[in-house]
Amino acid sequence: MSMNRRIQKFGKSAEPIAGKIPSESEEARAKLFPLHCLPPAAAAMGQAICKAERVPESLVGCCLLGRLSASVGAGLQVRSGPNRVTRANLYIVASGESGSGKSETDRHTAQPFRDFEDELIAKWEWDEWPALMAEKELLESEIAGLKKKKFNSPTEREEIRAELERRRRALLQIESQLQAPVLSVEDITSQALAVRLAARGECLASFSADAGEVINNLLGRYNKLDRTDDGLYVKAWTGDRFQQDRIGRPPVSLRRPCLSALWLVQRDKVETILSERSLTEGGTIPRLLLCHTNCQPRYIQDGVEAIPTGIAKAYGKVIRELLETFRLASEPVTIEHSPEALRAFNDHYNAIVARWHNGEIRDVTSYALRWTEQAWRIAVCIHGGTWGKRAGEQSLALETSQAAITIADWFSVQQLDILAAGRQAFKDAKRASILDLLVDCPKGISGRDVQRALHLATAEEARLLMEEMETEGVLQSAEVPTGGRPQRVFSKARK
């Protein structure tokens, strides 16, 4: 079924509108995850899991999108600008109550990926590991013999040294190949993650159906300096070069690391992440696709049908094709986009900028200005899942961009909902500071005064906040002559 037909199947209300970002006051907050926007095989699998496990679309959609992202890895990217490409890797953090079906849902969506990974490891253990170990043991024996060898002249010493160097170099190469060909990790320190990425082509996925320990690692559980440990996670999202130097082992240098993440957590862990200010300042949290799935413990029901075999096989076939064609590729395939798809993404970003200029989302700038990039990344996942092994031969279509924008919009609304309490508290603090300023300046204050006192980015931001207070009847304003252009001054409203 084509993307157009799938969108039409779910009715006009399901059709995404390019450039339209749901505002906090819209009903979009209560909408279900748009499963119909996922590739056909994934969407069908999602509906089947919802029925079989009695879990909400939000949980299933996050799990499916996370698996698509990890299956594509760094092997498929889209040209998203004249000098820019965007990959499919996403960091998804979804909350749900304990015992509400997170693990069962994750198991269904993960099965094809896990089977493929297990096959890779089993084949390596049988075909490659014995030969590698044998070569390693021989090299170690030869090195031990060379170290015992005596020399009688500088020439003989140099010959022994050269042989030792050659065998040491060969041993390092063998040891790098002795790491199993894993595609994913779970509870791992950032130091170990860097080493594993270097050994596995700089591409991995981080999966956990109960990611409490993963979040603790991110928060710096193993960091002796008592600070967050998220530097590699930021670089592996953006694909920037990463260098790690540690005493006692060679440095790890990653040219273009790629990490996908799907972390299912309990609700309180989301609040823990948000409370760590350094994660926001470092750029980790704004890169997360955060949501509360509202997944709750379920009643046992009679007559629940199992997931149809045909649907599970079709989904598994897509995941396997993506893993074989793109995840294991030595070089990425870059796809182009249609002019209409590019226009949809540009409209989407411009709508966000318009909201920023209106003052609506200035306090969440680091989040909002990444929403369109998230849509680009989701689009690569949808494109890959729709076309499978032929994805590299097709350009990114308008329908795919619209579907991706719809999913990105859903996540942006969830993100704003989660941030709402903190945003309101911060806003209330700024309003209280403005009233405090007026105690010392009863004749009035300007936007520039407030900007300086509150350390805001612009005077315009201060003016918009005071205009809101004026609308509520808390403040009043007047134009005051200054010898040049009149200045707008705000003071307390007269009762």
Q: For the chain, which domains are there?
A: 3-123+180-422 (no CATH), 441-492 (1.10.10.10)
Q: How far is CA 236 from the centre of its chain?
A: 10
Please, are residues 222 and 193 in contact by the beta-carbon 8 Å criterion? no
Query: What average pLDDT does this structure show over 226-241?
Result: 82
DSSP string of 178-194, one letter each residue = TS---SEESS--HHHHH
What's the pLDDT score for residue 37? 97
Helix (H, G, I), strand (E, B) or coil at 95: strand
Instruction: Give burial (CB, 10 Å; 0-12/13-18/19+) of 268.
Output: exposed
Alpha-helical runs (H) found in 149-211: 154-177, 190-199
The pTM of the full predicted model, rounded to 2 decimals, is: 0.81
What's the pLDDT score for residue 3? 41
Q: Could you tell me which residue, 41 or 300, shows the higher pLDDT? A: 41
| pLDDT of residue 219 exceeding 90 | no
Span of 183-197, 214-228, 250-264, 415-429 with lowest mean pLDDT = 214-228
What's the pLDDT score for residue 334? 97
pLDDT band at 277 (very low <50, low <70, confident <90, very high): low
pLDDT band at 248 (very low <50, low <70, confident <90, very high): low
CA distance 393 to 326: 12
Query: What average pLDDT does this structure show over 11-22?
Result: 38
Q: Could you tell me which residue, 425 or 86, shows the higher pLDDT? A: 86
Q: Could you tell me which residue, 485 or 275, shows the higher pLDDT? A: 485
Dihedrals phi, psi of 203, to nearest 5 degrees: -140, 125
Could you report the per-residue pLDDT of 255-266, keeping only the tens digit for each? 999 999 999 988
| pLDDT of residue 31 exceeding 70 | no
What's the pLDDT score for residue 158? 92
What's the pLDDT score for residue 19? 42
What's the pLDDT score for residue 423? 62
Query: What average pLDDT does this structure show over 425-440?
Result: 83
| pLDDT of residue 25 exceeding 80 | no
DSSP string of 377-422, one letter each residue = HHHHHHHHHHHGGGGGGSPBPHHHHHHHHHHHHHHHHHHHHHHHHH
Q: Could you tell me which residue, 313 or 101, shows the higher pLDDT? A: 313
| pLDDT of residue 339 exceeding 50 | yes
Query: What average pLDDT does this structure show over 405-418?
Result: 93
Query: What average pLDDT does this structure show over 407-427?
Result: 82
Residue whose structure tokens are 């590019």: 342
| pLDDT of residue 6 exceeding 50 | no
What's the pLDDT score for residue 2? 44
What's the pLDDT score for residue 278? 57
What's the pLDDT score for residue 10? 32
| pLDDT of residue 406 exceeding 70 | yes
Q: Calculate what percentage of the chain has a pLDDT beyond 90.
A: 47
Closest C-alpha to 113, from 209, 38, 183: 183
